[in-house]
Structure 1
Amino acid sequence: MTQVEAVRSEAVGPIGAGRARLGLAVLLLPVLLVSMDISVLFLAMPTLTADLDPSAAQQLWILDIYGFLIAGLLITMGNLGDRIGRRNILLAGASVFGIASVIAAFAPSAGVLIAARALMGIGGATLLPSSLSLISGLFPDARARATAIGVWTAFFAGGSAVGPIIGGLLLHHFWWGAVFLINIPVLLILLAVGPFVLPEHRSDLLGPLDLPSVALSIGGILPVVYAVKHAAAEGVDAPSAVILIVGVTVLTLFVRRQRHLEEPLLDLRLFGRAQFSVAIGSSLVGMMSLAALSYLTSVYLQSVTGRDPLDAALLGIPMAAAVFVFSMGGARVGQRIGVRASFVLALFASGVGNLLLLGIGVDGGLAWYIAGSTIAGVGYGLAFPLVSDVAVSSVPPERAGSAVGISETSFELGNALGLALLGSVAALVFRSGGDYASTLGETIERHADDPALLERASESFVTGLHVATSVGAVLLLGMAVIALVATRRPNATTSD
């Protein structure tokens, strides 16, 4: 993704401390938008559903397609930026992201909204790798660069937690399309200021992109996820089984191709290092559980407890604040108690926070929600800034670019898998509780005159939430054990 050698710089002029800080501020704008747009729809889904009337499958695709395309294209776009210029692809991606945001805001149907979200995912895939790689040109000093990357990571992790709050505030005053239009002024600032404060970097010695690898990666991920979601929504049938087999086969071909390429999109040899694997596993599992927790509790606060989007958003502030604050200080915690202990502590706290959500119910348990989400937020905040640092520092310098690309992909893929897999688990438990509509919101609309049925439906949804967050907690605690055992020695490898 980011080439360590053979990179030509075309800086906009001497980069002093003031210009570097201004450049970092500009780079934080797309990071915040991309991560925020992952979760900003959580609170908007009930009102959006009432307006566009999407099916259950379309609702999941509205949420999922954005993250999956980002995950599938991150490494590709990072490599493309190395070839055509990282600032160039950053500004081009911002333009695509802005156009797609306008289309999404005024989408007349669920299909158009899904297409717009897909286009946003393509634009977003250019913003993350280019913004992170440009930090190296702004901060040549290693310590300053590490601090800047920590801030970048905090905004990336915090944006996902802040998304529901921003969405709630906007929905309190405007219609659901406002959650997309908020992107426009931010992107205009980036497009206006970016060319003057950001240096340009490109490599002259790289070969062409391996397009078959790009096609295989996307062609494998999407069928697998679709099959899982379809099986959870409609049950296991022949079409879902065939689609799953196709996806797994394509991913197998992708892995085999990467092993034989001199310049692979995904350097699989990196996973032979235990520290790298633990970092990637932590980000993947962490984002899976965070996405499921954020989405399911947003639906719970609105559809089960009857709160409006603003009230639901305000109740999410403690977790958002914990994620952001502890992301800013995560690197310092790692320096004091060690990276290994920090990962174990962070994953354990996140797991315990998810388990505390077992205390919430149809008629109470708000204190359990606040306590559990806040403790989980502390754990997420400690873990996420360590991932990028460990992913890069645990591999040789010549592999740092590939490591960064994989770490960013794990964040995005984890978020999308959390919605697809854990969200589908919750939906499956909900529907198994009775003869309900595909979602709780749709059930409430259809059976508003049947309080007894709505009570049972709410109980089924809460049960599904308990199951999904408990699965997330088990994954987090399991990853904590792996981090404790697998990284006993700093240079341990997976084979050790």
Structure 2
Amino acid sequence: MSTVTPSSDQRHGQTPGTERRMWWGLAVLTLPVLLVSMDFSVLYLAIPAITDALDPSATQQLWILDIYGFLIAGLLITMGNVGDRVGRRRILLAGAALFGVASVIAAFAPNAAVLVAARALMGVGGATLMPSSLSLIANMFPNARDRAKAIGVWTAAFAGGSAIGPVIGGVLLHHFWWGAVFLINVPVLAILFLAGPRLVPEYRAGSSAPFDVTGVVLSMLGILPLVYAVKTLAAEGASPTVFVIGAFGVLMLALFLAQQRRAAAPLLDLALFRNPLFSSAVSVALVGMMALGGMSYLTGVYLQSVRGFDVLSAALAGLPMAVAVAVFSIGASRVVAAVGLRTAFVGSVLLAAAGNLGLLMLDMSSPLWIYLVFTSIAGIGYGVQFSVVSDVVVGSVPVERSGAASGISETSFELGTALGLALLGSLATLVFRENSGGWSFGDTLGETLHRALGMGDDGTALASAARAAYVDGMHAASLASVILLGVLAVVLTLVMRTRRTSRPNSPQEVSPTMP
């Protein structure tokens, strides 16, 4: 792989054939992103069938669900740096191979332990796919306007995968056995292997500094326990063990940051956070995903356990929001061009806040259109902000570091989701328990509704009280997310004092050659 310095005509006067190849390459890059995001959500529908077939213990069931996300969160920064060094397309294809093999193992897993191991391998593979695909866009699209559109498409694919995962899972489980939700990955990855080498350019930074192995170890020892602690806190509540694990993660992260200041070639360039645009983007990713992740989970339970929709119907009710996210992710560059970067950032955060505020109108019998309208409003805000986040983060660094920067932004998204589930979920649970009205509630709404079965009139009253208390908890969490987003909007307004619509560091000085 070699790099050349293109002339001005080469940079700004691409031939129609080259441009078509560039956009077809983008279509190929969206495939692994779609799969990674789908595999976060598709398993929720399959768990009952997996439980019947493999009879996992409660601990094994937890790890089947969570080990995938844990390893992705822990390895994103590392894999972004590895891709910068060994080649972004190479690490993309290697990760896709691992993801595909692990998917086949998962589909035919004979027991729960094998399935947990396969999900872990899928997490390792998935951690290579996200930062490498996003950073390759920086190489393929040196023009700022084209790059912003391309990142919008990438963001739309990620959001679309999360939304259609349950729908596709429901269809597959209706016609096939549970392993089909994993085998669907194989033909998609086959397309990536066939088309990727032809349509996606290779890029590798020419760094000769030793790889920061110590930073890798410390980052994983920090991120993995912290994510585990916040997810366990959300699912099972507080305990001394959870706090010890969380405190260990915080300590390791502190050691990681101290070590990064001294490292010759650090995984995490702390100087990036002196850039107000970069810091603002990471903050939006973290807080935005806290609000989105927490409220998506709570409203999913609301639709099923309070309103009585089945899982597939609840997933279909989430499609309007997914469409809003996808459309406005792709159109985010036009929004920025029209109103400026600061206004686009602040306005998108306020739209997300307005959508979450509208959820306060939901009760046990409210019409479904309230949910559809306000989640769609929030989806517009999330679509714009997440697309702009990715563009700003990748654009805040030289092209040779865009893989590492992509890992930082994706880690922020992952940590935001975990914190949303833990903090907003815990707040909702606290209010749920406090509003029992003298009834003996279980730890969750589902447990309480199960307890109410067979109790006759008392059971009906218990179920009604539990549903009302859950709605109160959801309202409290909605209001908390609105406050968080509102504070973020104020901070962005103060910090982002300049209006910029282009990347600070365009990678036009380096252009990869096609193989």
TM-score, with structure 2 as normaliser:
0.84
Counterpart residue type for residue 158 of structure 1: G
**Partner residue in 2 for 1:413:** 415
Output one character per residue of 1:414-460: Cα deviation in whole Å (capped at 9) or x when no partner: 22332343334434544564644554445444543233233333333
- Note the C-alpha offset of 1:213: 1.1
Output one character per residue of 1:249-294: Cα deviation in whole Å (capped at 9) or x when no partner: 1111011011111211111121122221111111111122212222
Cα distance in 1 for residues equivalent to 2:296 and 2:483: 17
Match 1:487 to one of 484, 493, 496: 496
**Partner residue in 2 for 1:449:** 454
**Partner residue in 2 for 1:288:** 290
Cα distance in 2 for residues equivalent to 1:465 and 1:335: 36
Counterpart residue type for residue 207 of structure 2: L
1:97-496 to 2 correspondences below 5 Å:
97-107=99-109, 112-394=114-396, 400-430=402-432, 433=436, 435-445=440-450, 447-450=452-455, 451-452=459-460, 453-489=462-498
Cα distance in 1 for residues equivalent to 2:379 and 2:348: 9
RMSD: 3.0
**Partner residue in 1 for 2:11:** none
**Contact 1:67 1:416 survives alignment (8 Å):** no
* DSSP 3-state at the match of 2:364: coil
Cα distance in 1 for residues equivalent to 2:441 and 2:112: 22
Cα distance in 1 for residues equivalent to 2:98 and 2:137: 22
* DSSP 3-state at the match of 1:214: helix
Cα distance in 1 for residues equivalent to 2:479 and 2:178: 31
- Relative to 1, partners in 2 of residues 1:327 and 1:354: Cα closer, same or farther, differing over 3 Å? same
Over the matched positions of the two proteins, sequence identity in percent amounts to 59
Output one character per residue of 1:375-432: Cα deviation in whole Å (capped at 9) or x when no partner: 1111101111111222244556676554333222222322233234333443454456
- Relative to 1, partners in 2 of residues 1:112 and 1:301: Cα closer, same or farther, differing over 3 Å? farther
Cα distance in 2 for residues equivalent to 1:204 and 1:396: 13
**Contact 1:42 1:295 survives alignment (8 Å):** no
Cα distance in 1 for residues equivalent to 2:373 and 2:130: 32
* DSSP 3-state at the match of 2:203: strand
* DSSP 3-state at the match of 2:204: strand
Cα distance in 2 for residues equivalent to 1:300 and 1:440: 10
- Relative to 1, partners in 2 of residues 1:110 and 1:476: Cα closer, same or farther, differing over 3 Å? farther
1:43-62 to 2 correspondences below 5 Å:
43-44=45-46, 61-62=63-64
Counterpart residue type for residue 483 of structure 1: L
Cα distance in 2 for residues equivalent to 1:110 and 1:376: 38
Q: Does 38-47 or 411-420 show the bigger shift?
A: 38-47
**Partner residue in 1 for 2:10:** none
**Contact 1:347 1:480 survives alignment (8 Å):** yes
Match 1:34 to one of 28, 36, 44: 36
- Relative to 1, partners in 2 of residues 1:175 and 1:460: Cα closer, same or farther, differing over 3 Å? farther
Cα distance in 1 for residues equivalent to 2:383 and 2:344: 11
Counterpart residue type for residue 336 of structure 2: G
Counterpart residue type for residue 481 of structure 1: V
- Note the C-alpha offset of 1:346: 0.6
What are the ranges of 5 or more consecutive residues in structure 1 without an aligned counterpart? 1-6, 492-496
- Relative to 1, partners in 2 of residues 1:74 and 1:224: Cα closer, same or farther, differing over 3 Å? closer
* DSSP 3-state at the match of 2:28: helix
- Relative to 1, partners in 2 of residues 1:204 and 1:272: Cα closer, same or farther, differing over 3 Å? closer
Match 2:75 to one of 73, 76, 81: 73
- Note the C-alpha offset of 1:136: 4.0
**Contact 1:273 1:395 survives alignment (8 Å):** no
- Relative to 1, partners in 2 of residues 1:232 and 1:125: Cα closer, same or farther, differing over 3 Å? closer
- Note the C-alpha offset of 1:347: 0.6
- Relative to 1, partners in 2 of residues 1:369 and 1:70: Cα closer, same or farther, differing over 3 Å? same
**Partner residue in 2 for 1:4:** none
- Relative to 1, partners in 2 of residues 1:211 and 1:276: Cα closer, same or farther, differing over 3 Å? same
Output one character per residue of 1:2-42: Cα deviation in whole Å (capped at 9) or x when no partner: xxxxx8459xxx98233322222111100111122223345
Cα distance in 1 for residues equivalent to 2:390 and 2:129: 16
- Note the C-alpha offset of 1:46: 6.1
